[in-house]
Amino acid sequence: MKLRNKMFQFVLKLCVIVSILLAVDAVSVKQVPDRWIVPKCCPLGFTLSEQSPPSSCVPTALMLEPEYWGADPLPPNDTQVDVLIGNPCPYGKYRLEPHKDSLDEFIVLRNGSLLVPFQNPYLLDITDYCLDLFETPNGPVALPLICFSSSSEQSPDFWKNLALTIYPLGLLLSVPFLIATLLIYALIPELRDTRGKSLCCHISCLILAYIALATVQLGGPSLSENMCVMIAFLIQFSFLACFFWLNVLCFDTWWRVTSPFTYSNHKIELKKMLWYSLYAWCFPLLVLLSTVLMELTPFIPPSYLKPNFAYNCWFSNDLAALGYFYGPMGFILISNMVFFLLSARRLCKPIHFYADTKAEAPVSQKTALQRRLDMFKQCAFLFVVMGVNWFAELISWALGGPSAVWFVTDVLNTLQGVIIFIIFVLYVPRAKRLTMQFISSRFGQSE
């Protein structure tokens, strides 16, 4: 939806942009027929520092050569160029970065005005911005710094600041609960069936994803570009694998509640686990390999398909995020919903049947039915609590909006480790009983 809106806005504004360009170009020719204007933040031979203090000017040997509308790049010392040096922003400024976000695209006009099609207002005067030179992965580039209109615009978003504090804590709080659940299902033989192994794979991926995501949120600007790229690859793969293993759990639930009450031997379960593993590991790996190829191949130009992880340890544009992450994620979530609804539909009839004839039903079938009901309840809780939260994450990415709107669901997403522990350990009597027996036996042996 967000991408479609952007395309619609682009098409809608195209005629307006062209008319603005023609009008401004005509006016600028009348006002300044033979000269060009460039507002520069720092004196010639200097550029703005990206270190501390961020607004100071530091010497540079590079020459600022902005690209003007309808002309080749011109250096500031050219006789056709008038350079206006100084900081026009009393309330501070922020930088446009079109190499990170396509909405930051800009055009410098011959009279010094700046056309920013996707900003409001579209046209900025020389008193509203200044240009300077900055290093990017594509080399030095002249970028505009836009003035805040008042000091209130600099005030940070309360919800964003709160999120930056709460999210890492929630992620790190979830990790011990995930590790506890992983150990319980990995060490207790009765729980180490196909479903238990699938749950262990899902939890392992979630542990890696949460640790990597907390590292990015806590490390922030201190991470190097190479470290940022590597962590972004890890976050992408671990979350995608987590979604695919969740899909395996939902499929396995549907398979078990719709299949006859037959004995499944070890060989069949092993073969099933092999197919599950091929599906849940290979597809995320294929997506990761395509992402690595696009990110690290030097001759592929920066485009909407290039992830550009180095900027903020995640995708730098929406189309890349859609293709390499949110698209597969959305497909898996819809698939999980289909398996959940099919399982619920199939269970309705046996539930009513055994409600009347439970006494006459064979013991093994009654036990199998109860196991399937428990399994479906777990899947239902998992779908409602986790599936809805991930749907909210997908919607918040697609539609955007104020940080406060999605704060609750984002916090719940960080606490999935606690939720998983409650659903698969505390809520399941069999798992809780086997866990207590396992702990008692271990403590008994140690004594």
**Closest Cα to residue 321, out of 209, 240, 415?**
240
Beta-bridge mates of residue 131: 40, 144
Strand bridging mode 114-115 / 123-124: antiparallel
- The pair of three-digit structure tokens given for residue 357, joined into one six-digit string: 């004839």
- Could you tell me the end-to-end alpha-carbon distance of the chain, in angstroms, rounded to an integer? 62
Rounded Cα gap, residues 387 and 336, in angstroms:
8
Task: Report the pLDDT averaged over residues 376-384.
Answer: 70
Task: Report the pLDDT averaged over residues 299-326.
Answer: 79
- The pair of three-digit structure tokens given for residue 427, joined into one six-digit string: 């809520």
Q: Mean of the per-residue pLDDT values for the chain? A: 77
Are 110 and 29 in contact by the 8 Å Cβ rule? The answer is yes
Rounded Cα gap, residues 86 and 84, in angstroms:
7
Lowest mean pLDDT among 32-46, 79-93, 114-128, 378-392: 378-392
- The pair of three-digit structure tokens given for residue 413, joined into one six-digit string: 């997403």
- The pair of three-digit structure tokens given for residue 402, joined into one six-digit string: 């104020």
Are 170 and 210 in contact by the 8 Å Cβ rule? The answer is no
SS3 436: helix
pLDDT of 226-278, one tens digit each? 898 999 999 999 999 999 999 998 898 888 777 765 556 778 888 999 999 99
Angle, CA of 274, 209 and 99, to the nearest 5°: 115
Sequence-distant (6+) residues with CB within 8 A of 344 are 376, 380
For 51, phi then psi, to 5°, come to -100, -165
- Residue 129's Cβ-side half-sphere holds a number of Cα atoms within 13 Å equal to 26
Domains recognised in the chain with CATH numbers? 36-148 (2.170.180.11), 158-444 (1.20.1070.10)
**Closest Cα to residue 314, out of 207, 220, 424, 206?**
220
Instruction: Strands of 81-230 (E only): list them.
Output: 81-85, 93-95, 107-108, 114-115, 123-124, 129-136, 139-147
pLDDT of 203-231, one tens digit each? 999 999 999 999 998 887 778 888 989 99
Are 172 and 214 in contact by the 8 Å Cβ rule? The answer is yes
Give burial (CB, 10 Å; 0-12/13-18/19+) of 355.
exposed
pLDDT of 404-425, one tens digit each? 667 787 888 888 899 899 988 9
Task: Report the pLDDT averaged over residues 168-187.
Answer: 94
Strand bridging mode 123-124 / 129-136: unpaired
SS3 68: strand
Task: Report the pLDDT averaged over residues 314-333.
Answer: 87
The pLDDT score that the predictor gives to residue 64 is 73
For residue 433, the one-letter residue type is R
**Closest Cα to residue 205, out of 288, 105, 291, 130?**
288
CA dist 109 → 38, 115, 123, 130 (Å)? 9, 7, 10, 13
Sequence-distant (6+) residues with CB within 8 A of 292 are 233
Task: Report the pLDDT averaged over residues 32-57.
Answer: 72
The pLDDT score that the predictor gives to residue 10 is 45
Q: What pLDDT band is residue 67 in, cutting at 50, 70 and 90?
A: low
User: CB count, 10 Å around CB of 441?
Assistant: 10
Rounded Cα gap, residues 143 and 176, in angstroms:
45
pLDDT of 189-198, one tens digit each? 988 889 899 9
Residue environment code for 37-71, b if the CB has 16+ CB neighbours within 10 A, otherwise e: bbbbbbeeebbbeeeeeeeebeebeeebbbebeee
Distance of CA 94 to the CA centre of its chain: 23
User: CB count, 10 Å around CB of 164?
Assistant: 14
Q: What pLDDT band is residue 73 in, cutting at 50, 70 and 90?
A: low
DSSP secondary structure string, 118-131?
A: TSSSSEE-TTSEEE
Does the pLDDT value for residue 31 go beyond 60?
no
Q: Taking each helix axis as running N to C, give the angle between helix 225-258 and helix 327-357, from 0 to 180 degrees, rounded to the nearest 10.
A: 30
CA dist 219 → 208, 242, 321, 374, 424 (Å)? 16, 23, 22, 41, 32
User: Which residue do the tokens 């009348």 mark?
Assistant: 30
